[in-house]
Chain A
Amino acid sequence: MSQPVLQIKDLKTQFFTDDGVVQAVDGVSFDLHPGETLGIVGESGCGKSVTALSILRLVQEPGRIVNGQILFRGDDIVTMSDDEVREIRGKDIAMIFQDPLSSLNPVLTVGFQIEEAIEAHRKVPSKMALSRAVELLKQVRIPAAESRVRDYPHQFSGGMRQRAMIAMGLANAPSILIADEPTTALDVTVQAQILELLRDLNRDLKTAIILITHNMGVVASLCTRVLVMYAGRVVEQGPVERIFKDPQHPYTWSLLQSIPRLDSDRHDRLLSIEGFPPDLIRPPRGCRFNPRCQFRVDRCLHDDPALMNVGPDQDAACWVTMRRALAPNGELRG
Chain B
Amino acid sequence: MFTRGALLYIGQRLVLIVFTAVAVSSIVFLGVHRLPGDALLNERRPDPAAEAALLHYYHLDLPLPEQYVRYVTGLLHGDLGESYVNRGVQIMPLLLREARVSAEVGAAAIVFTVGIGILLGVIAAVRQNTWVDYLATTTSVIGYSMPNFVIASLLFLLFGIGLYAWTGGALYYNSGWTGTYGTFDQILIPGFALGFPYASIVARLTRASMLEVIRQDYVRTARAKGLTSRVVVIRHALRNALIPVVTILGPLVIGIVTGSVVIENIFGIPGLGKEFATSILNRDYNIVIGLFTFYAIIIALANLLVDLLYTVIDPRIRY
Q: Of residues 50 to 106 in A, which have CB atoms within 8 Å of B's CB atoms?
A: 56, 58, 60, 86-91, 94-95, 97, 99, 102-106
Contact (Cβ within 8 A) A102 B224: no
Selected from A87, A88, A152, the residue in CB contact (under 8 A) with B315 is A152
Contact (Cβ within 8 A) B225 A102: no
Using CB atoms, name the residue of chain B closest to A153.
Answer: B218
Task: Quote the shortest CB–CB distance from B40 to chain A (angstroms).
Answer: 59
11 cross-chain CB contacts under 8 A? A58-B224, A86-B226, A90-B227, A102-B218, A103-B220, A104-B221, A108-B236, A116-B222, A120-B225, A120-B227, A154-B316
Q: Is the interface of A mostly helix, strand, loop or mixed?
A: loop
Check A56/B215 contact, CB under 8 A, given A107-B315, A152-B316.
no
* Chain A CB within 10 A, most for which of B222, B228, B240: B222
Interface size counted on chain B using CB atoms at 8 A: 22
Task: Quote the shortest CB–CB distance from A281 to chain B (angstroms).
Answer: 21
Contact (Cβ within 8 A) B240 A106: yes
Using CB atoms, name the residue of chain A closest to B315.
Answer: A152
A-chain residues with CB within 8 Å of residue B316 when the two chains form the complex: 106-107, 152, 154
A-chain residues with CB within 8 Å of residue B218 when the two chains form the complex: 102-106
A-chain residues with CB within 8 Å of residue B215 when the two chains form the complex: 60
The reply to whether the CB of B239 lies closer than 8 angstroms to some CB of chain A is: yes
Contact (Cβ within 8 A) A86 B228: yes
The reply to whether the CB of B314 lies closer than 8 angstroms to some CB of chain A is: yes
Using CB atoms, name the residue of chain B closest to A97.
Answer: B217
The distance in angstroms between the C-alpha atoms of A88 and B221, with both chains bound, is 14
Contact (Cβ within 8 A) B315 A90: no
Interface size counted on chain A using CB atoms at 8 A: 29
The distance in angstroms between the C-alpha atoms of A20 and B222, with both chains bound, is 30
The distance in angstroms between the C-alpha atoms of A78 and B37, with both chains bound, is 82
Using CB atoms, name the residue of chain A closest to B215.
Answer: A60
Q: Which residues of B contact A (CB under 8 A)?
A: 215-218, 220-228, 231, 235-236, 239-240, 313-316
Q: Is the interface of B mostly helix, strand, loop or mixed?
A: helix
Selected from B217, B225, B239, B315, the residue in CB contact (under 8 A) with A116 is B225
Task: Quote the shortest CB–CB distance from A315 to chain B (angstroms).
Answer: 30
Contact (Cβ within 8 A) B220 A107: no
Contact (Cβ within 8 A) B222 A105: yes
Contact (Cβ within 8 A) B236 A90: no
Task: Quote the shortest CB–CB distance from B245 to chain A (angstroms).
Answer: 14
Give the number of residue pairs across the A-B interface with Cβ within 8 Å.
77
Check A103/B221 contact, CB under 8 A, given A60-B215, A152-B316, A154-B316.
yes
Using CB atoms, name the residue of chain B closest to A151.
Answer: B315
A-chain residues with CB within 8 Å of residue B225 when the two chains form the complex: 89-90, 94, 116-117, 120, 168
Task: Quote the shortest CB–CB distance from A164 to chain B (angstroms).
Answer: 11
Contact (Cβ within 8 A) A120 B226: yes
Contact (Cβ within 8 A) A121 B217: no
A-chain residues with CB within 8 Å of residue B315 when the two chains form the complex: 106-107, 109, 152, 154
Using CB atoms, name the residue of chain A closest to B312.
Answer: A107
Using CB atoms, name the residue of chain B closest to A60.
Answer: B215
Q: Of residues 142 to 163 in A, which have CB atoms within 8 Å of B's CB atoms?
A: 152, 154
Contact (Cβ within 8 A) B216 A102: yes
The distance in angstroms between the C-alpha atoms of A104 and B224, with both chains bound, is 12
Contact (Cβ within 8 A) B226 A106: no
* Chain B CB within 10 A, most for which of A89, A106, A121: A106
Contact (Cβ within 8 A) A90 B226: yes
Contact (Cβ within 8 A) A91 B217: no
The distance in angstroms between the C-alpha atoms of A216 and B217, with both chains bound, is 25
The distance in angstroms between the C-alpha atoms of A267 and B216, with both chains bound, is 44
The distance in angstroms between the C-alpha atoms of A103 and B217, with both chains bound, is 5
Using CB atoms, name the residue of chain B closest to A95.
Answer: B224
